[in-house]
């Protein structure tokens, strides 16, 4: 039965990735948008400018989808086809690879045609920066940085947690990542309340972000990138970013494309200056399609790892854990030994 469950999880991840690649995000009634509305209603009820309130909010908002995933897993533990279908639907719901690549290409077309108003109007599909005064290189830089970071957030990390924890991992990760986008940013309202959500998102992305950086290095030649340069820049610059995870992805992308990322970022009401990552010139429109190609290649590589994990390493880890629990049961006080 365990082998059938592992196979169902693997098949569901592959099918869900295929659905995202073919269809992209649902145009209406997106479950993540529905979750966001529910989380917003919960926030309005329990908000206080304290970390304890933020911790309760995060526990409730993330715990509910995880419990839903656990219940669905228990209901389908002897029904592998139903399990695979649920994992496929969950994977499709939480992935955003096709949409991310599409937005990068749309931005590239707008910049190549010289339509800065259209490009500025499109930037909020990728990030929360104020685009009103950005020129082509700054719009291109914002796009490259967003593609690099969101390749981890919207593709690699969901696949990693889906591989490790099945449907509860998929739903729990997406819930935590959504909360971070809602309340995890620095602002007077969320300075304390949003800290638990931001820290949970950081923790869940520690491994996926580093995996994204390494995969970006590995697939750099698919976009005519220099693997050696990507490796050098990733090793040198990845920890200079103020985020514990974003720098892993952005440094590798900067090296793969041969561009320089970082600098002054203006958001609505605040400003940040970030260290430079990479050695080349500022990005241009021509780099955006290459960034999308790298993002797609990283996603496929991550899918390969995620699909094989449940039937290889995952089975070994599970068997080792069960053996250890049985041994503990035989040797605990009162066990007869």
pLDDT of residue 37: 94
* DSSP code, position 194: T
pLDDT of residue 273: 83
- Cα–chain center distance at 162: 12
Residue 80: CB atoms within 10 Å: 19
Three-state SS for 77?
Answer: coil
pTM for this model (two decimals)? 0.90
Mean pLDDT in consecutive groups of 10 residues from the start of the chain, 337 residues = 83 96 83 92 95 96 96 92 96 95 95 93 88 90 96 97 95 96 86 95 97 98 96 96 94 97 81 89 95 97 94 61 57 51
Q: 247-266 burial by CB neighbour count: b if 16+ within 10 A, else e? A: bbbbbbbbbbbbbbbbbebe
d(CA 263, CA 274) in angstroms, rounded, equals 5
Helix and strand numbers (H, E) in the chain are 13, 2
pLDDT of residue 89: 95
Structure tokens at 317: 């880890």
pLDDT of residue 266: 80
Q: 297-332 burial by CB neighbour count: b if 16+ within 10 A, else e? A: bbbebbbebbbebbeeebeeeeeeeeeeeeeeeeee
Element of type H or E holding 21: helix 2-23
pLDDT of residue 132: 86
pLDDT of residue 335: 47
Angstrom distances, CA of residue 149 to CA of 209, 218, 238, 267, 303: 8, 17, 12, 17, 17
Residue 44: CB atoms within 10 Å: 8
User: Kindly report the CA angle at 227 between 222 and 232, in degrees rounded to 5?
Assistant: 150
pLDDT of residue 336: 46
d(CA 150, CA 299) in angstroms, rounded, equals 11
Q: 139-162 burial by CB neighbour count: b if 16+ within 10 A, else e? A: bbbbbbbbbbbbbbbbbbbbbbbb
pLDDT of residue 337: 42
Total residues belonging to the chain: 337
pLDDT of residue 316: 58
């Amino acid at each position: 039965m365990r082998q059938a469950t592992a196979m169902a999880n693997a098949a569901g991840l592959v099918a869900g990735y295929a659905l995202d690649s073919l269809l992209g995000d649902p145009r209406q009634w997106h479950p993540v948008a529905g979750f966001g509305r529910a989380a917003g209603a919960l926030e309005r009820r329990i908000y206080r400018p304290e970390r304890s309130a933020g911790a309760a909010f995060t526990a409730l908002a993330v715990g509910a989808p995880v419990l839903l995933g656990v219940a669905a897993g228990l209901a389908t533990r002897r029904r592998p086809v139903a399990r695979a279908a649920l994992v496929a639907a969950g994977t499709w719901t939480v992935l955003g690879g096709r949409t991310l690549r599409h937005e990068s290409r749309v931005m590239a077309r707008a910049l190549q045609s010289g339509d800065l108003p259209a490009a500025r109007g499109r930037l909020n599909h990728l990030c929360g920066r104020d685009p009103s005064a950005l020129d082509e290189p700054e719009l291109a830089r914002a796009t490259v940085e967003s593609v690099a970071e969101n390749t981890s957030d919207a593709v690699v990390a969901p696949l990693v947690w889906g591989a490790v924890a099945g449907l509860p991992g998929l739903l729990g990760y997406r819930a935590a990542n959504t909360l971070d986008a809602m309340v995890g940013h620095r602002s007077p309202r969320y300075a304390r309340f949003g800290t638990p959500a931001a820290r949970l998102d950081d923790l869940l992305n520690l491994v996926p972000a580093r995996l994204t950086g390494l995969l970006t290095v590995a697939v750099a030649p698919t976009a005519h990138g220099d693997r050696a340069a990507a490796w050098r820049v990733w090793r040198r610059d990845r920890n200079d970013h103020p985020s514990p995870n974003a720098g892993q992805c952005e440094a590798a992308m900067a090296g793969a494309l041969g561009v320089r990322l970082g600098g002054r970022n203006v958001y609505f009401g605040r400003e940040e200056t970030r260290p430079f990552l990479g050695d080349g010139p500022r990005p241009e429109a021509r780099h955006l399609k290459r960034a999308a190609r790298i993002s797609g290649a990283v996603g496929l590589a991550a899918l390969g790892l995620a699909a094989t994990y449940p039937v290889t390493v995952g089975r070994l880890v599970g068997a080792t854990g069960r053996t250890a629990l049985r041994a503990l049961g035989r040797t605990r006080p009162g066990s007869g030994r």
